């Protein structure tokens, strides 16, 4: 066998090695993507659970906010914090589902439904919108989607 033939065989074996390595990395990348999707879903579920716990713990305060009773400054701050947490939960759920290639209305509908059921909070959110001056396109798209589901 000549050196040229040995070199050609070496190149073929090297090409096969590169191909096997690329296939292996592709499989590993897919496994990592699936694992990240599962973790994201778990984070969303935990966030939903925490938010629901917060709403249940403050049900009387939310009810008071919807009544004609005046809130104390501390209660007002608590209501704003609850609303802020709900808004962020809805927004980040929207972002997570969008990154996974899904476009679902559920996060916006759930938040809008809560606002529709709690008129005082709806008015507060529509008036203030908890806005910052540098909102990105994702935040603006989410807010427009929420506003579609809010009753006026």
DSSP assignment string, the chain: --HHHHHHHHHHHHHHHHHHHHHHHHHHHHHHHHHHHHHHHHHHHHHHHHHHHHHHHTHHHHHHHHSSPPPPHHHHHHHHHHHHHHHHHHHHHHHHHHHTT---SHHHHHHHHHHHH-HHHHHHHHHHTT--TT--HHHHHHHHHHHHH---
Note whether residue 51 is domain-resident: yes
Residue 9 lies in a domain: no
Instruction: Identify whether 67 is part of a domain.
Output: yes
Would you state the pLDDT for residue 129?
Answer: 60
Task: Please check whether residue 110 lies inside any domain of the structure.
Answer: yes
Phi-psi region of 129 (alpha: psi -120 to 50; beta: other; left: phi over 0): left
**CB-count exposure of residue 94 (10 Å: 0-12, 13-18, 19+):** buried
Give the total number of structural domains in the chain.
1
CA trace torsion 19, 21, 25, 31 (10° rounding) = 100
Taking the model in full, what pTM does it have? 0.62
Say which residue, 69 or 106, is predicted with more confidence.
69
Residue 91 domain flag = yes
> What's the whole-number mean pLDDT along residues 48-70?
85
Structural domain boundaries enclosing 93: 38-149
- 92 has pLDDT over 90: no
Residue 69 CA to residue 88 CA, distance in Å, equals: 27
């Amino acid at each position: 066998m000549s050196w040229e033939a040995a070199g050609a065989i070496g190149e073929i074996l090297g090409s096969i090695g590169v191909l096997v390595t690329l296939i292996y990395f592709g499989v590993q990348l897919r496994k990592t993507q699936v694992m990240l999707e599962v973790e994201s879903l778990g984070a969303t579920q935990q966030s939903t659970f925490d938010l629901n716990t917060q709403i249940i713990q403050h049900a009387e305060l939310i009810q008071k906010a919807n009544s004609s009773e005046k809130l104390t400054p501390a209660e007002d701050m608590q209501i704003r914090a609850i609303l802020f947490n709900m808004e962020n939960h809805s927004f980040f759920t929207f972002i997570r589902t969008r990154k996974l290639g899904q476009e679902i209305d559920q996060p916006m509908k759930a938040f809008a439904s809560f606002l529709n059921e709690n008129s005082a909070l709806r008015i507060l959110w529509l008036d203030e919108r908890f806005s910052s001056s540098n909102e990105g396109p994702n935040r603006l798209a989410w807010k427009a989607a929420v506003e579609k589901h809010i009753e006026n």
